[in-house]
């Protein structure tokens, strides 16, 4: 047994001695040589600290960046919500402005129509357009006034701008108006400058023609055409339109003029229905003038 190697003796004696010696030397160095120890720490610890600081600074920068991104995200979420609310508010205000603008336009049109009603010598009923023809068979609009309002067929319809058309069908609360551009509407017209009369009628091409003008008439482009008042439906002098072109008929017995209507039918909103084309006073005066002298009663 004496010749065998015993590890416990080696580790128990030699290692312990070396460890104690290293500790003693380290203690002496740090205790008795502070300057040398500080130099050692600076020499070894500086690069080590810099090496360790790299990932620490990287983590700190990443943390700060993530924190800033998160705060920006929170702020953007708030701004997005505010932007959405502002857009809704703008849409509501825009709708309110459009509604008020439409009311202002309507009030202006109604004021103009009311003033026209006061100035005209005929009795009229105001009506609103509630429908338009979508058919190619006729050109017309639907009004919100009917038989309950005293509206009858063949009554004339106009606006302060001029002639619109004629009532062709009625119900209890509505009525249908054929426009002057419809071929089924005919109105007696007069050229204001020359006093020549003719028949104003629509065409299938949505044009308005004045037919049966005298062959020697001096009517020309730009002349104004108004109602003659000789037939029912309209009083005298309501504007129909302006002559755009004059042409001779094939037999040269009459002349025909193309008219640009004064009323923009596409933009009709409110109209006036002519209930009595002539005032009662004018009709009484006409009857009194046509009555034989012996039967005329003196006016009170």
In the chain, the largest separation of any two C-alpha atoms, in whole Å, equals 181
CA 51 → CA 44, 46, 54, distances in Å? 11, 9, 6
Residue 59 structural domain: 12-119
Give the count of beta carbons closer than 10 Å to the beta carbon of residue 155.
23
Q: Check whether residue 20 and residue 83 sit in a common domain.
A: yes
Q: Check whether residue 148 and residue 232 sit in a common domain.
A: yes
Q: Check whether residue 73 and residue 152 sit in a common domain.
A: no
* Residue 59 in domain: yes
* Residue 1 in domain: no
State the Cα–Cα distance between residues 143 and 126, nearest whole angstrom.
10
CA 267 → CA 102, 168, 185, 195, 271, distances in Å? 13, 21, 20, 30, 11
Q: Check whether residue 71 and residue 186 sit in a common domain.
A: no
Q: Check whether residue 59 and residue 183 sit in a common domain.
A: no
Domain boundary among 119, 142, 172: 119
Q: Check whether residue 44 and residue 175 sit in a common domain.
A: no
* Residue 47 in domain: yes
Per-residue pLDDT 10s for the chain (300 aa) are 455 545 444 445 565 666 666 666 666 655 555 555 555 555 655 565 566 567 767 777 777 787 777 777 777 777 777 777 788 888 777 777 777 777 777 677 667 767 766 667 788 899 999 998 867 778 999 999 999 999 999 999 999 889 999 999 999 999 999 999 999 999 999 999 999 999 999 987 878 999 999 988 899 999 999 999 877 688 888 999 999 999 876 667 889 999 999 999 988 888 999 987 654 444 444 344 444 555 444 443
* Residue 292 in domain: no
* Residue 287 in domain: no
* Residue 2 in domain: no
Domain count, the chain: 2
Using DSSP, how many helices (H) and how many strands (E) does the chain show?
Answer: 4, 12
We report the CATH number of the domain holding residue 225 as 2.40.10.350
Q: Check whether residue 234 and residue 96 sit in a common domain.
A: no
Token output for 190: 């007069």
Environment class of residue 263 by beta-carbon count within 10 Å: exposed (0-12), middle (13-18) or buried (19+)? buried
Q: Check whether residue 108 and residue 171 sit in a common domain.
A: no
CA 121 → CA 43, 114, 152, 237, distances in Å? 116, 13, 20, 11
Q: Check whether residue 212 and residue 258 sit in a common domain.
A: yes
Domain boundary among 84, 119, 154: 119
Q: Which residues contact 168 (CB under 8 A, 6 or more apart)?
A: 140, 153, 154, 176, 177, 178, 184
- pLDDT recorded at residue 31: 59
State the Cα–Cα distance between residues 196 and 2, nearest whole angstrom.
158
Q: Which of 146, 142, 153 is nearest to 185 (CA)?
A: 153
State the Cα–Cα distance between residues 68 and 91, nearest whole angstrom.
34
* Residue 297 in domain: no
Q: Check whether residue 93 and residue 200 sit in a common domain.
A: no
Upper half-sphere CA count for residue 195 (Cβ side, 13 Å): 0
* Residue 289 in domain: no
Domain boundary among 119, 144, 171: 119
Q: Check whether residue 189 and residue 253 sit in a common domain.
A: yes
Environment class of residue 173 by beta-carbon count within 10 Å: exposed (0-12), middle (13-18) or buried (19+)? middle
Q: Check whether residue 150 and residue 264 sit in a common domain.
A: yes
Are 188 and 228 spatial neighbours (Cβ–Cβ below 8 Å)? Answer: yes
């Amino acid at each position: 047994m004496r010749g065998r190697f015993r590890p416990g003796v080696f580790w128990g004696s030699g290692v312990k001695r070396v460890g104690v010696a290293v500790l003693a030397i380290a203690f002496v160095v740090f205790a008795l040589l502070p300057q040398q120890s500080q130099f050692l720490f600076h020499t070894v610890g500086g690069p080590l600290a810099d090496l360790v600081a790299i990932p620490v600074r990287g983590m700190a920068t990443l943390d700060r960046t993530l924190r800033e991104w998160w705060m920006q995200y929170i702020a953007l979420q708030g701004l997005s919500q505010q932007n959405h609310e502002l857009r809704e508010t703008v849409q509501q205000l825009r709708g309110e402005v459009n509604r008020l603008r439409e009311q202002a336009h309507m009030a202006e049109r109604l004021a103009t129509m009311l003033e026209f009603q006061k100035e005209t010598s005929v009795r009229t009923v105001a009506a609103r357009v509630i429908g338009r023809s979508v058919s190619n068979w006729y050109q017309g609009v639907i009004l919100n006034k009917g038989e309950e309002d005293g509206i009858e067929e063949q009554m004339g319809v106009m606006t302060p701008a001029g002639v619109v058309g004629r009532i062709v069908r009625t119900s209890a609360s509505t009525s249908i108006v054929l426009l002057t551009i419809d071929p089924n509407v005919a109105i007696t017209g007069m050229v204001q400058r020359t006093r020549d009369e003719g028949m104003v009628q629509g065409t299938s091409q949505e044009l308005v023609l004045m037919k049966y003008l005298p062959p020697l008439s001096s009517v020309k482009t730009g002349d104004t055409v108004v109602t003659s008042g000789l037939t029912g439906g309209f009083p005298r002098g309501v504007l129909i339109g302006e002559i755009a072109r004059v042409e001779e008929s094939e037999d040269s017995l009459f002349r025909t003029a193309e008219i640009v209507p004064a009323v923009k039918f596409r933009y009709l909103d409110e109209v006036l229905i002519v209930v009595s084309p002539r005032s009662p006073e004018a009709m009484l005066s006409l009857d009194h003038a046509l009555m034989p002298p012996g039967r005329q009663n003196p006016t009170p």
